[in-house]
Structure formats: structure tokens, C-alpha cells
Amino acid sequence: MGTKNSRADKRFIEKETGTVRKQWRDRISLALIYPNRYFVGMSNLGFQTVYRLLNSMDNVVCERVFLPEPDAGPSRPIVSVESGRLVTDFEIIAFSISFENDYSNLLSILEKTGIPLLADQRETPLPLVVAGGVACFLNPEPIAPFIDCFLLGEAEALLSEFIAGYDENCRDVDAPRGKCLEKLARGVSGLYAPSLYLPCYNSDGTVRDFEPAADVPEKIRRIYVRDLSTISTCSAVLTPDTTFADTYLIEVSRGCPHGCRFCTAGFVYRPPRFRPLDLLEKCMARGIAAADKIGLVGAAVSDLPWIRQLCTTYAGQSRISFSSLRADAMAPELVATLRQSGVKTATIAPEAGSERMRRVINKGITEDDILNAAEVLVAGGIPNIKLYFMIGLPTETMEDVQAIVTLCKQIKGRFLQSSRIRRHIGELTLSLNCFVPKAVTPFQWAPMDDIGALNKKIKLIKNGLRRVANVRTNIDVPRRAYVQALLSRGDRKVAEILLAAHGYHGNWPQTFKASSLDADFYVRRRRAADEVFPWDFIDCGIKKSFLKKEYTRALQERPS
């Protein structure tokens, strides 16, 4: 049975273009849930892609669900955007999870819908609870007790097989959930059902091994699209209520060839793949017809071989922006495209202030690259620059942190020279994030920096830039980064901490105080070279020995 949409839902859907409404009939009904507000979820191209792919299947009806807006009221049920149906009316509820800090929202949504939080307490006919997204195929274990099954990999290569497997094995309301999951785990590539696997632990709390509890694969292979030459990934729904308001997003590439050692995109999305020019031209034509603005997205947009050709061909037909550009690839054609499109702020990501630290993280750009990029941007008519830096990286010293201040001042100097010529002085924004070690990267062995040390580094940077005019700082909260680090590399036991945090309404200090588990064990501990990680049962297509060599090179300040 449907229920009324909230005022917020109606406000959003009335401004959308591309909304899909299908008759339910005998179709497989799936609630696609983004565990955050509408604004955040609809800014995510991956979420939109899953929505489009599922609704392209004739036997599926997919409707979106988000964390309720603040004005929805505490007693308002969680319902789908399209039809206003309750989440429990759907056969499948599928969470699309990009960020670990949204795990707590997942529990809130389950509780509010009346679905038991723990998977082993659910029985048919309750919906099957599925999860996917990059956070899941890096390390699903911290939320494994809450999920019936995960889809590990890229949606384009996963969804058809999963839907076919579900249709064949799970639609009988009398079918036991356990049997359904066993059939899915045996027959669907990339599907991981946590209840069919048992983690075993050493006396020191580390993982000893990971044992299948049924006739299912010992390792789960991360599924990816080998060839993107015929597969476009573009906005499915346009709306002004996103970070990219009324912008038609086009993914030009997937993965990154540079291999920065802190970054998941450079490893878990290997091999890097670039879409061909003819496919992107078709996407551009659709984008020009659909919206006034086009956003080209990817981890390595400036590495696309035909990026300059796209810009020179289409800059006069649409306003074009880029998700990111490398400092060593700041071509005049790209800057001219940004200027013609009315872009006022461009981003450079030095990540570290010193040449030494950029060698440690394998960034592959020099101080001259960074300074020249700033100069080219401002001289080319982009008045404001945003700089991304991290603190707390492995081997970092206070001298490296001071180098961030020094580099910002040098950038400001180049910035001023070019700004004065144009008779307009823009703004320099420093975005400072705490390093969080991630699974499936060379830094998965590294500890996170101490919160007290991070606060000292933040203070040094703020004091160093306090008197520099036209410089703003946006600074990450170390305690929030600490929680992310816990959830990024935790094992299945960490679900106990998540459950406790849910009970304490997100009060993490109270949660840590009450928990029998030591969060520092997961966050602050350097991993042993031969340690078994909670995510080692996933075959991501990258040898652990390769990542270990990269970590050793990092400690030696050597590039790849």
C-alpha cells in the first residue's frame, strides 16, 4: 500500500526531469536507498546509474528512498520518492553506499522501517536487504551482520545477473531466506552473503582466516566492466537540488593511472579505462539537449586523450566543467573552457606541502607544477582557487606540515601577480583533510595519526595562514575522521560498536567508553606485514604483495 509523500519529497520530485514511474504489476520491486539526504544522494552519479540500469529492465520497478529531511517529522514513515510506498512493500531494498560515515544512517533507516537490524533476525516475507557501492567492495565487514548480501563491484556488470538469480530462486514467498542466499551466492558472480562465511580470530584479535560455512566460493571476485567503449554513464535525473544543480554529468573515465598510495580510485578501479571519443560525443549531444551545463567526471579527467578536442568542439555549445584537473596537465584549452563556461573556482590537489611527502604518496607532481598551475588558472580568467591537502600521512613531520603553509603562501604570491594584471583579486581556499587509511591501498598497513597530533597540525596551519589576506580554510574534524578510519578497516566485530553508537544516537565518545572493543586497535595500530585483513577474502584483481611493495617504497620515499 502506498502512503503520502512528505512535503519535501513532493518539492523535490516536482523539479526533476527524468523521473521513472512504472506500474508494479508482477515486476520485481526494488527500493534503491541512499543512506543520506536527497541532496547528497542525487549528487552521486553511481546512485543515479543504478537507478537507470534497474529501471531499464522490464521485469523490475525501482524507486528511490533517502534519509528523511529534517522537516519530515519523527513520526513520518520512510517512503519511496516515486510512489510514496513504504519500504517494507518492496521485495528488495538495496543500499548504495559510497561513504563509511553513512553506515549509521543505514541502521536508522532500517529501524524506522521496522526491519530488524540484524540479518539473522529476518525471515521471509521481509524484504531482502542488499548493499553495494565502493565502500562495500573495499571492506563490507563492519556492516556484514546487518546485510543479507552484498554486490561487490561495478553495477553495469553485476545487476543483470543478480536480478536473474533473484527472479529464479527467491520470489517464492515460502522459500527460506537461507536457501535463497545459498543459491544466489553460488550462482551470482560478485555476490557475498555474510551469513555463509565465518571469520576466525587469533588470540590477539586479528583475523586468522575466513571460512565458508556452505558450498560457496572461498573468495569473492570483484566484478568490473572490462570494456567501457559501448557503455555510457550519464545523469539519469536532472534536478536543481544537488551539488551539481541542473548539470548533466558524464563519466569520461573510470579508475586512475597515477596510483597515489592513499587513494582507493587508483587501485580498486584498476585497470584505468577511458571512454572513446565517439561515445563521449554522443553523450555530449544528449547533455546539450538536456541541460545548460555539462560536468565531465572521472578520477583522471585531464588524462583523457581527447579531452582537449572535446573542449574545443563543445565549449561554445554548453557550459562545461571538470571534476578535477591535475596540476601537471593544466592545458590552456581546458582553462579557456572553464572561463567560457563561467566557472569561477578551479581545484588543484597538491595533497602534501613538501616534495618529500609527495614522493611518499606517489603524487607525481612538483612544486613548480603546482605554482605554474595556479598562475595559468588565474591568468586564464579563473579568479578563485581551491587547494586540497591532507595531514597525518605516513612519515609526516611538523616540517612537512609547515611546508603546507609555505606552499600556500607561494601560491598566493603567484596568484596575486596574475590577479593584479586582471585587476581582480580572487580567493584562495585551503581544504584540509585528515588522512584515513583505506583497504586495498598501499597504506592499508599504516596507522592513522593521533587526534591530538592532528589538532596540533591544524593549529599550526591556521596560525600560519591567519594573517594572509583572501585565504579561507575548510578543515576536517579529526574525531570524525577517526570514526571513518574505524569503519574503513574494521572487521565484523566492529558492527557491535556501530550498533552501540546507534543506541547512543550517534554519541561516539559515549559509545567508545561503553564498548568492550578497543577502537584504537583498528584505527591507531600499524598492521603486521603478514597480517590477514578482514577484506582479504575479496579478490580485487590486485596482488597484496604488490600493495606491500608500494608501501615499502612509500617508507623509502621512492616513486612507483
Amino acid identity of 238? L
Final residue before a domain boundary, out of 324, 342, 360: 342
Same domain, 425 and 329: no
Residue 174's pLDDT band (cuts 50, 70, 90)? confident
User: Where do runs of H (alpha helix) occur along 97-152?
Assistant: 103-113, 134-138
> Could you give the CA distance from residue 502 to residue 104 in angstroms, rounded to a whole number?
6
Same domain, 204 and 285: no
What integer is the mean pLDDT of 262-282?
96
What pLDDT is stored for residue 477 in this prediction? 96
pLDDT over 60 at 2, yes or no: no
Final residue before a domain boundary, out of 280, 307, 342: 342
Sign of CA dihedral 399, 403, 404, 408: positive
pTM of the shown model = 0.96
Tell me if 44 sits within 8 A of 34, measured CB to CB: yes
What integer is the mean pLDDT of 127-135?
98
Amino acid identity of 353? G
pLDDT over 80 at 100, yes or no: yes
Same domain, 37 and 180: yes
What pLDDT is stored for residue 101 in this prediction? 96
Structural domains of the chain, count:
3
Q: What is the DSSP string of 360-381?
A: HTT----HHHHHHHHHHHHHTT
What pLDDT is stored for residue 300 in this prediction? 87
What is the rounded average pLDDT for all residues in the chain?
Answer: 95
CA angle 11, 38, 110 (to 5 degrees): 115
pLDDT over 60 at 409, yes or no: yes
More confident residue, 192 or 415: 192
280-328 pLDDT, tens digit per residue, is: 999 999 999 999 999 999 998 999 999 999 999 998 899 999 987 899 9
Residue 230 lies in a domain: no
> Could you give the CA distance from residue 511 to residue 508 in angstroms, rounded to a whole number?
5
Residue 428 three-state SS: strand
More confident residue, 10 or 461: 461
Same domain, 50 and 199: yes
> Could you give the CA distance from residue 206 to residue 200 in angstroms, rounded to a whole number?
9
Residue 240 lies in a domain: no
> Could you give the CA distance from residue 375 to residue 324 in angstroms, rounded to a whole number?
17
**C-alpha cell of 494?**
566492529
Residue 23 lies in a domain: yes
Same domain, 313 and 370: no
Percent of the chain with pLDDT over 70: 98
The residue count of the chain comes to 560
What integer is the mean pLDDT of 384-395?
97
What integer is the mean pLDDT of 116-130?
94
> Could you give the CA distance from residue 434 to residue 486 in angstroms, rounded to a whole number?
14
**What are residue 448's phi and psi, to 5 degrees?**
-80, 150
> Could you give the CA distance from residue 200 to residue 472 in angstroms, rounded to a whole number?
48
pLDDT over 70 at 38, yes or no: yes
Same domain, 336 and 397: no
Residue 237 lies in a domain: no
Tracing cell 572461498 back to the chain, one arrives at 218
**What are residue 451's phi and psi, to 5 degrees?**
-60, -40
Residue 395 lies in a domain: yes
Same domain, 110 and 210: yes
Tell me if 248 sits within 8 A of 236, measured CB to CB: no
What pLDDT is stored for residue 71 in this prediction? 79
Amino acid identity of 170? C
Final residue before a domain boundary, out of 322, 342, 362: 342
More confident residue, 75 or 538: 538
Tell me if 382 sits within 8 A of 394, measured CB to CB: no
Per-residue CA distances from 202 to 209, 210, 493 (Å): 9, 12, 13
> Could you give the CA distance from residue 151 to residue 245 in angstroms, rounded to a whole number?
30
Report the CATH number that the domain containing residue 362 is assigned in CATH.
3.30.750.200
**Domain containing residue 116:** 7-221
276, 287, 277, 278: which is closest to 250 by C-alpha? Answer: 287
Q: What is the DSSP string of 485-551?
A: HHHHH--TTHHHHHHHHHHTTT-HHHHHHH-SS-HHHHHTPPPPTTPBPTTTTEE-SS-HHHHHHHH
Same domain, 144 and 272: no
